[in-house]
Amino acid sequence: MQFLGASAFGAAFAGSGGGSALGMALLGAGKKRSFEPLPAMADDAVVTVAGVDVDILIGYGDIINDAGEKFGFNNDFIAFFPLVRGRVVPVNSVEALEAREALLWVNHETPLGILMHGNPGPLRGGPPKTADQVREEQLAVGGSIIRIVRSTRDNRWRFGGRHVLNRRISALTEIPFAGDVAIAGSKTATGTFGNCAGGVTPWGTVLTCEENYREFYGDLDAGYDFKPGSDWRKHVRLPEWEHSWTPHVFHHPWHYGWVVEVDPLTGRSRKLVAMGRADRECATVTTARDGRAVVYSGDDHRGGCIFKFISRIPGDLSEGDLYAADVDRGRWILLSWEKNPALRRNFRDQTHLLLNARAAGLAAGATAMDRPEDVELHPLTGAVFIALTNNPDRDNHHGSLLKIEEAGGDPLAMEFTASTWIAGGKETGFTCPDNLVFDRTGNLFFTTDVAKDKLHHGPYQGLGNNGLFVVPATGREAGRALRLASAPVEAEFTGPCFSPDEKTLFLSVQHPGEYSQFVDGKPRFSSSWPNNGRDTGADGKPCPALVALQNLPLVGSLSHS
Ligand code: FEO
Ligand code: CA
Ligand code: CA
């Protein structure tokens, strides 16, 4: 398989636009507008600060190509690939500013039977799922590639309709393991799911991360050893809340929990074994001074690790070194079976170690973190920001953002300093930070994720629905979290992603009405968003969708009035 090499784009993909000609052009063009932040609210709507328009681009079930493939369910991470004369160009290039078409990669994390086909499944009070219902769910996860176009009339981005470049990758797509590696006796996996957050490589591919993989085909203990011909199904543990697919379809759990690399132009994909297997939230890429890729990622688990991966060569993630963070001592620990005696005692070989990356990290002395989720790099300083969502097991209900500063500002460094940058809670007005995105001037935008059944209860009382916040980099409100938008009932905003000119923020509205109940054999919906006449919303049924926020205030350059 040929993936695009680093040379296809050079350094342009890697740099931020902050100090560049592009950055200056954007700063000059930026509109200055003050705004009044939103209070905590409970509305069943996408509510924004004044002056922002919300366009729905596409929602679950919309047909994307002539093959009849559909936009998936529970859209999450979004990546923007500007298209110029049929080529993908770097998002930070001047060319990108002129692009009138683009490809979006969009993750589809989980199915939700009650909102899709009306059956929540046997673990939620419904009947067993039929084979057709399971297949519908399999086709609804993974990722979508969709072409969007910018109107010459109003300069707004819209879904471009059915197109040959629009594709789906789902739980049914055959995906090889990178490096020709066999995992549990197979060099390919059937499908991808649990696709939560992700990243974009300097060479123009997307990284989509398999997070809560065990909810589909369960998991195996770290001590399990695969023996060809043995019945591995007998060893699988399914969690209490799983999707009830296994009566119809069952694949080896080792095939999931990876970072998957996808070429957005061709849809070709591969699972990156060298980066390890965990509850992989995201994979955020930067380029080191010697051209190698460095990837930071969270492992969203109570007691999960923060990982760093350094590629062996520039432009390719199929080989490299995996590290886990010892946050207490400020050091990166190499997870090498060969070089670490403690890991040799715990694991049979490097592949066995990689299959159990969190256990390996903890065995080697890495710090158990409070649900490390998204990671973003500051566009001007390179500092690494990590959302630690929460951990009720340790009475950490509101989470925080951790800032890691590599020694010498070098992503290849083996030492760092770590500090809490901002903590959630009643005083700061936000809770459970999850997805992050910086604009070029260093304003940090983040979304929050309080679990649907915890919203407005206990420690979360008074903190409202989930939302989109900004922490301005400068001005009177610098360092404060201000609510820019509020999500519909039981929904979570995910995947915030800017257009090249930063005038549009693409955002996923995930799982509105997630806690809808099944009563007397019928769904009773707790949300009706968007309920605007769409096929899926006209009957009052909630529907996840991708929205574009237009005219978001550029808060870095203004004072709050
Ligand atoms: Fe899918 Fe950890 O959020
Ligand atoms: Ca997340
Ligand atoms: Ca989340």
Q: In angstroms, what is the span from residue 194 Cα to ligand 3's centroid?
A: 11
* Phi–psi pair at 382, nearest 5 degrees: 80, 0
Cα(211) to centroid(ligand 1), Å: 7
Give the count of alpha carbons within 13 A of 318, CB side only: 15
- Give 10-residue mean pLDDT values along the chain (561 residues): 41 36 42 81 96 96 98 98 96 94 98 96 96 98 98 95 98 98 97 98 98 98 92 96 97 98 98 98 98 98 98 98 98 98 96 98 98 98 98 98 98 98 97 97 96 94 97 91 97 97 96 95 92 54 95 54 31
What pLDDT sits at residue 235?
Answer: 97
Query: Which among 407, 411, 552 is positioned nearest to 469, based on CA atoms?
Result: 552
- Assigned token pair, 328: 């207490």
- Which residue's CA is the nearest one to ligand 1's atom 2? 300
Residues 6+ apart with CB under 8 A from 105: 77, 78, 79, 81, 143, 144, 145, 198, 206, 208, 262, 264
Ligand 1 atom index nearest CA of 279: 2
Residue 109, ligand 1, Cβ within 6 A: yes
DSSP 177: B
- Runs of H (alpha helix) within 182-226: 214-217
Structure tokens at 38: 């939103």
C-beta 300 within 6 A of ligand 1? yes
Question: 308 C-alpha to center of ligand 3: Å?
Answer: 21
Structural domain harbouring 187: 6-560
Q: How many residues does the chain have?
A: 561
C-alpha of residue 30 to centroid of ligand 1, in Å: 32
Cα–Cα distance between 377 and 310 in angstroms, integer? 16
Look-up of token digits 């870095």: 556
Distance 311 CA to ligand 3 centre (A): 27
388 found inside a domain: yes
- Ligand 1 proximity of 211 Cβ (cutoff 6 Å): yes
Structure confidence at residue 464 (pLDDT): 97
CB of 278 shorter than 6 A to ligand 1? no
- Which ligand 1 atom sits nearest the alpha carbon of residue 298? 2
Ligand 3 center–CA 279 separation, angstroms: 12
Residue 255 included in any domain: yes
- Residue 350 CB partners (closer than 8 Å, separation 6+): 336, 337, 338
For the chain, give percent helix, strand, coil, nearest 5: 15, 35, 50
Residue at 390 is within a domain: yes
Residue closest via CA to ligand 1's atom 1 equals: 196
Coil, strand or helix at 305:
coil
Residue 181 lies in a domain: yes
Is residue 1 assigned to a domain?
no
Indicate which residue's Cα is closest to atom 3 of ligand 1: 196
> Would you say residue 406 lies in a domain?
yes
Whole-number Å distance between alpha carbons of 10 and 17: 15
pLDDT value of position 85: 94
Closest CA to 555 of 487, 468, 493: 468
For the Cβ of 196 lying below 6 angstroms from any atom of ligand 1, the answer is yes
Q: Which of 290, 279, 285 is nearest to 253 (CA)?
A: 279
Residue closest to 46 by CA, chosen among 55, 37, 59, 34? 55
Q: How far, rounded to the nearest angstrom, does the alpha carbon of residue 388 sit from its chain's CA centroid?
A: 14
Does residue 457 lie in a domain region?
Answer: yes
Q: Which atom of ligand 1 is nearest to the CA of 389?
A: 2
Calculate how far, in angstroms, residue 433's C-alpha sits from the geometric centre of ligand 3: 9
**Structural contact between residues 346 and 363, judged by C-beta atoms closer than 8 angstroms:** yes
Instruction: Give buried/exposed letters for 212-225 (b at 16+ CB in 10 A, else e).
Output: bbbbbbbbbeeebe
Instruction: DSSP for 369-417, please give it.
Output: EE-EEEEEE-TTT--EEEEE--BGGGTB-S-EEEEEEEGGG-TT-SBEE
How remote is the CA of residue 108 from the centroid of ligand 1, in Å?
Answer: 11
* CA–CA gap between residue 468 and residue 493 (Å, rounded): 7
Q: 363, 425 in Cβ contact below 8 A?
A: no
Ligand 1 in contact with 373 (CB < 6 A)? yes
Cβ of 281 less than 6 Å from ligand 1: yes
Ligand closest in space to the Cα of 374:
2
Query: In this structure, what are the phi and psi dihedrals at residue 357, rounded to the nearest 5 degrees?
Result: -60, -40
Whole-number pLDDT of residue 532: 53
Provide DSSP, 218-280. -B--TT----TTS-GGGG-B--SS----TTT----GGGSS-EEEE-TTT--EEEEGGG--SSB
pLDDT at 539: 63
- Map 335-366 to HEC letters: CCCCCCHHHHHHCCCHHHHHHCHHHHHHHCCC
Q: List 271's β-bridge partners, or say none.
A: 177, 260
Q: Are 452 and 28 in contact (CB under 8 A)?
A: no
**Structural domain total, the chain:** 1
| Å from CA of 91 to ligand 2 middle | 23
By DSSP bridging, strand 372-377 and strand 384-388 are: antiparallel
pLDDT of residue 22: 45
Whole-model pTM: value is 0.94
546 with 73: CB under 8 angstroms? Answer: no
Task: Please say whether the beta carbons of 277 and 187 come within 8 A.
Answer: no
